[in-house]
Structures are given as structure tokens and as C-alpha cells.
A and B are shown apart, each in its own frame.
Chain A
């Protein structure tokens, strides 16, 4: 079917794009706790609940830990569940992130990337979400407000298919508080795309089961094996969901987005809003005749290794910009790229850490990164960009 959405266009912030996405997904139970810079998401959802735009129960809990626990209860009982958080709030949830994934609950959560304290910071970096890398959540890093809205809807589609939760990530302020024109899709069409949540098993007095009991060594590993199988299956489910969404609404994002990579000697790897800045720089350098390209990583978990390898097949150098750091090692995206390519060919991969704690990554920063990579042949695992040593 052709994409002829009778949508409306609104100028809204990234945070409100999340709220609209949740509203259009007809979430049934919301539970959240305020934290900057996420708060606007749940404020607007509160409005939606209050004015009847959305018929959901909103449990205003006393902590993020409880927010996730409440959603675990709600999702186990068969409700489509949503929350949003950031930084310390996400860290406090950590235990329950494992729980939600291990319980195979298709919860969707927005995380507004904010640096971890101390010292206190409210500005963006990715250490909060990447610290949750191994909890069994799928992670999706968004670049625009439109992508944010569309991704919430797609996230439920995939989550409910593979029975794993999704963390949808957007940058603090750069996206969360920046208004852009966003197409708000028609509800009927969204309903056609995303049918009501019908879980395989739920807490049901007519068909009672216990959920999450003690698993002895004889069964635990198989349950974990199944989770990994589902993660692998999720790659194609994301492809399918993206494709179907594109057919209905005319917008597709892919798991990754290669930009001028075909003939590039040097490929920059980015995620989130840094991508937009990098795209401008790449265009400029291309006009100057430089063979540089860009690869945006959108889906971080499951990691689309195969697609990344394909996109980088012609590159001679790769420079990964990480707005995060795994202390004692380096940037996390860089590790992921290295890990994806390691057994395939000896491609030099530069790991460059920039923009921590909300420090701007400007076109000049990107150019500095490109020049560094072009100037060096032996890659270093960790290169600090813009740090005053």
C-alpha cells in the first residue's frame, strides 16, 4: 500500500515527539518519575491521560526503580507499558532492566541521554544508556524528532514480536528540547500498523501460571540462549518493521544509515544528533573532493554487525566518534565496530571520544576528527577530542 498518510504537522520538541509516539501506540499503563531532561515527556502524557486523549493508567511512582517495577507488573498482566527516564534514573532502574528483559516483557522506554554524576551534569552523553548495554534491552539511537516519534511506534511492533524491551535514546537538549516540524501520523493508520498487545502468556486467573520462579542450572542457560536467539531474530524484525512503516507512512530509517560510504577512504561512524552535524561536514569535504563518508549507527542492540561490515567493505580507514567512554578501555561504539570487523579484515579503526557531558560537537570538531584520522596510519584505541589536557 502506498504512503498517503492523512497526517498533521506540528512543531514539537524531541521530548514531545516521544509523548506523541506513546500516545499513538495506545500505551495502556505508564509509570514514571521526574528527571531532567526527560520530564516533559511524562508531563505531556499526563495531559493526554487527563484530557482523555489517551485512556491509560499513569502510576506516578516514588522512584525510577519503582517505575520499571510497576511496568513489569503491568506488562506481565497484559498491558502495553511505557516509561521515560534519564541518567541517574536509568541507573537506579538497572536491576529492573534485567528483570524486564529476563521476563521477556515488551516494554518501551525513552532514555534522554544525560551524563552521569558526579559531578552533577544535566547535559548529554551516552554513558547512561550504554551502561545498560548488557541488560537484554534493545537500544535505538535517534537523530531527529520525527525519527523519535516514528521509532516509538516501530519499537512496540518489534518488542511485542520478539518479546524483548526497547530503549529509545535521544540526546539531552540537542534533541529533547529542540523543536522541529514533525508529522503526526493518523491514529487509524497507526492502529493498522500496530494492533493491540496480545501476549503469549500473561497473569490470568483463568489460566494461572507462575512467572519468573527460580531456574536451576539445568534450565537457566537455555532461557538465556533463547534471549540471544530473539535478539538475533530482532534484526530482521526491525528491518521488516521499518519497511512496513515506510510503506504506510513514507519514512524509513534502516538499522544503520550509510552516507557516501561507497567510495570513501575514510568513514566516520556516528550515532544520535552528532550524525546531523557530521553529515554537513561530509558534504563540505566532498565538495572539496575529499573521499570521506559517514555511517550512522541507529540500532545498537542487537548490533547490526553484518550490515556494518557491508557498509564498511570499501573503507580504508574508520573513525568512530563516541560521546561516551568505558573507563579503562575507550569509546564504546568503537569497541563495537572493532568487534564487528575484527575477524574480517585488518581495517584501521580510530576510536575518538568527544562531547562528553554535553560539550558541543561542532562541525569544527568533526573536521578535527577527520583530519586526525587522515593524518594517522596506525590507529589508536582512544583519542580524546577537544579535551584540555
Chain B
């Protein structure tokens, strides 16, 4: 370090006032009362993603065209990007801070692009040292797949049991191929199998005894059997010929079974199953009408599906409830009553109240019931209960069956793909803890600076962002969509993907834009490997770095002296 120059006498001095050293001896850090700290914040997209995908970093990679690294980074949190890139309800986009600027980043389209760009790529199979523990996962829907994936990555031996002939659960049985092409589903399951996960399709666990046997042969079990039991309408005539559940219908079509539904189809319900059933019926040449007892605003289906259904010409009858179904020769008569919305019910939604003398009758060839599903768990013993946790307890709260975990729709009732993935992931973590420590309490974090603060738009410096239009995924025109089961939503181009990824503000996450280093008047910030370092000897604490950070990464904290 530079030293001070001390002259003992005039003789030691140069004849004129010239410099003999730099100013490095002058430690201006002593002027500081605030110091800059690189403290990453949580981006709202990441907070809102049930799987916790680190979108700012994924999109930073994508913006540089590094799609393979981006894909690997998504897969650190979610093994099914190709699937989520198509069917997720993308809460990340609703939370995106760019919405306050010029439109949210098209994260779902990017996720799909990244996954598709890696379609021919097998994931790296290197993993932790193989371990002796073996875990059975019952059910191969998104929750089971996610659990199997995260366990396998830790070296745990996993066997996935599936009742159907092929793995995938609801992804394969319920979601139509125009939303989720089967090659995508197959690919992502193969990627999980590539980690050493064994799949046993055609294996149904239907009794407590069978579960007990399974439990004896494995170190832990994860039950992720989904919610396959359709709720009944509880009206007369719902068992007539020509009346079936939406799920039954979708399962048959998706399994390529011939099924006769006629031209006129009435779909009862407003959820995702109802939308899938109606749109699938449309593609089979029928004219579906959706009957829903509340209004469009209360429909539980994801908004995009409702919009697409409307675009495709599906008719909706809102504020109508079926009273009974009659068979009259080759025709079914569905008697409905007009309702109005009254006081909120337990779900918080306003309860439909029938309007007296407003009955009307609709004729149809087929009725598809889609008013909700619930789990069927015939293998659980009487004394067992599923609680909010993952472990099955007896009513007294004592652990009765150590090592049995439950998740996905089987635990929560029908939910979304991404919620199921999150549940499977959480289960994998709990199972690992259980295998290692015999309990599921997470260890205390040693890093006190864990990410806790979510970053809002006000914390960003939008001066560094220039408006750029959002790239939406293209859709097939409605008239051509309905002629086949071709995928409705298209892909964005590579150029669009890079441009769209560049739109990401990278909220709260340093992407090495260098502003802090460039704008330091004291040359006190340097880049060391993959981080910035503040030279405390010289930083005067002016705060320009924090002010000019576009993404709110740098915080000014009081200097401790």
C-alpha cells in the first residue's frame, strides 16, 4: 500500500513541488457513515412461483442465448419446464414488476422456448453418490414426478408406481394434447427416468394391506395419487346413459378410445376439467355448451383457457344450475333453473340462489359432469388421517406410520400442475430429512442473510430500462384449431426469446451490469470472480452505487464503528 512521504529536511526534498507517490495512504473510508452492501432481494416472479424458480437468473442466461444453462437452472427447481411452459397458470407473470412499466415479461413463453430448445438434450446424469435408501412414490403425476426427481438427484433409489399403463397421471389422462403434446410429456418423464428412477406402470395400490407391504419393502413412501374422483351433481338422472364425468371423457379421448358423444354436448361446471372437456368435445365435432352456476368472473378455470374456449366459439350459459336430467328416447333433457348470486359461502364466493319459476329445459346428446374432483385414498387405514403436513398421523398426533408422506392433489384436492410440483419437491426435502435424521424438522439456517425481502417496482431504477414490447406466444387461429388436436399455443422465435429475456429487470438480482463499478467516484468497487467487492479503505459511502443499481441489489446500511 502507498505510504506517506516524510521529509526530514529541505535537503531531502525535490527542488520543486512534484509528486512522489499516489494518494493511497489517504484512507477515505473513514469519511463513511453509510456503507453499501450487496444484498440480493427476492424477485416477485420467484416469490410467486410455487416451485421457486429463480427467474431473474434463468432469464439472464437466456438473454445471453445460453439456453442450455437456463434450462439446467430451471430444472434446479422444477423438472417439468416443457410442461409448465405450456399449461402453467404463470403467477410469475402476474407478479412481474415490468407490468408497471410496459407489460410483464412473457415468462411462460420463455420457459417453453428454453425447454424446447433443449428437447434433444438429455440431462446430465451425474448426481450425488448413490445412497442405500430406497423410496417408493405412488402415483406419477406432477407431484410424484417432482418428488422422484429431487430424491434421485440426491442419490436416493426411487421406484414410481403408476396405476395407468403409462406414467404422467393427470398430465396424460386429463390434459388434452392440444395443450400438452405427448412428446413433450414423454421427454420430461424420460429425463427423470434417466436419473435412475424406476417406473412401474400398471401397478395400483388399492388396499391398506398393499400399502403395508410396500412400506415394509422401502425406507419411505410418498403418496401422490391425485384427485381422480369426480364429485356427483347430486340431481336426479345423473346416471342416465349419455351422462358421464368430464374426467372419464377426457381419459377416454386421451387414451385414443372411441367414444360416442353426438353433436349436442352440455358441460356442467366452470373449472379446468370443464374447459378441457368442452374444447375436446368441440374438436371431436360436437357443439358444446357450458352451463355454470355463477358468472364468468367466478370461474375457477385458468383465464387463458376460458379465453381460448370463447375464441373457439364455445357457448356459455352463466347463472344456471341443473335440477334434473331426463332421457327421452335418443335425447337427454337437462332441466336447469336460473340463479342469482347471494351472500358469500364458505369458499368466499357468492352463493347461487335459485330464482323461483325460472326453470328451462335444454336438449342434448351428451352431458359431461365437471363440478370438481376429490382424492380417493382407499389404502389408508381407518385410524390414519392426512393433515396439513406431509406425514400421516393418527388422531392423537403421534407418528403412527413413520416414513409415509403424502402430497399433490391427493393431499390438497384438485390444484394446479405447478402446485403439485411444489408439493412433490417439498415432500422430497422432508423425505431426505427423514432418511438422514429420522425427523422432518428443517435444520436451522446458518446464513442470516437469507433472502427475505421482496423487491417492489419502487425499489428499481427504471431509468436504465428502455421500453420494449412484450412478445406473446402466437396462437393458432380459432378456425384451424378446432379441426384437430394440434397444439393451440405456438412458440416464440429464438430472436424473440433473447429479446424477451432481455426485458427482464432482474429484480433484486445482480446481473453484473457494472453500474456500481462504473459509477464509483472513488474507484472503490471491483469485480472479483463472480461478485463485486467494495474496498472499505476508500469507499466514502456516497451511495451512488445503490442509487444507480437498476435492480435494487445494493443496500446502504449504517456503518458500525
Contacts and interface: CB of A to CB of B under 8 A. Distances in A.
In the complex they form, whether A and B have CB atoms below 8 Å apart is answered with yes
Interface of A: 102-104, 163, 200-201, 209-213, 215, 219, 222-223, 225-226, 229-230
Q: Which of B13, B14, B17, B19 has the most CB of A within 10 A?
A: B17
B13 A226 contact: yes
B16 interface: yes
Interface in B151-200: none
Nearest to B12: A222
In the A-B complex, the 9 residue pairs with the closest CB atoms: A222-B10, A210-B19, A104-B16, A209-B18, A225-B10, A209-B19, A104-B15, A215-B17, A226-B10
A213 B20 CA distance: 11
Contacts of B19: 209-211, 213
Nearest to A104: B16
B18 A211 contact: yes
Given A104-B15, A209-B19, A209-B20, 9 more contacts: A102-B16, A211-B18, A211-B19, A212-B17, A213-B19, A222-B7, A223-B10, A223-B16, A225-B10
B17 A223 contact: yes
Contacts of A200: 14-15
Interface residues of B, number: 11
B436 interface: no
A215 B15 CA distance: 13
Contacts of A226: 10, 13, 15
A237 B15 CA distance: 17
B18 A210 contact: yes
B9 interface: yes
Interface of B: 7, 9-10, 13-20
Contacts of A223: 10, 13, 16-17
A213 B7 contact: no
A275 to B, nearest CB: 34
21 contacts: A104-B16, A163-B15, A200-B14, A200-B15, A201-B14, A201-B18, A209-B20, A210-B18, A211-B16, A211-B18, A211-B19, A212-B16, A213-B19, A219-B13, A219-B17, A222-B9, A223-B10, A223-B13, A226-B10, A226-B13, A230-B15
Nearest to A223: B17
A41 to B, nearest CB: 28
Contacts of B17: 211-213, 215, 219, 223
A285 B17 CA distance: 54
A52 to B, nearest CB: 34
A78 to B, nearest CB: 14
A306 B17 CA distance: 31
Contacts of A209: 18-20
B13 A163 contact: no
Contacts of A103: 16
Nearest to B13: A222
Residue of B10, B14, B16 contacting most chain A CB atoms (<10 Å): B16
Nearest to B9: A222
A362 to B, nearest CB: 46
A102 B15 CA distance: 9
A223 B15 CA distance: 7
A209 B18 CA distance: 6
B258 to A, nearest CB: 88
B426 to A, nearest CB: 62
A201 B13 CA distance: 13
Which of B15, B18, B19: most chain A CB closer than 10 A? B15
Nearest to A229: B10
Contacts of B14: 200-201
Contacts of A210: 18-19
B4 to A, nearest CB: 11
Contacts of B20: 209
A104 B16 CA distance: 6
A213 B14 CA distance: 13
A210 to B, nearest CB: 4
Nearest to A225: B10
A102 B18 CA distance: 12
Contact of A201 (B7, B9, B10, B16): B16
A42 to B, nearest CB: 28
A310 B17 CA distance: 37
A213 B21 CA distance: 12
B5 to A, nearest CB: 10
A212 B19 CA distance: 8
Contacts of A230: 15
Nearest to A230: B15
A222 B12 CA distance: 10
B9 to A, nearest CB: 7
Contacts of B9: 222
A32 B16 CA distance: 25
A212 B18 CA distance: 6
B27 to A, nearest CB: 18
Contacts of A211: 16-19
A73 to B, nearest CB: 15
A219 B7 contact: yes
Contacts of B15: 104, 163, 200, 226, 230
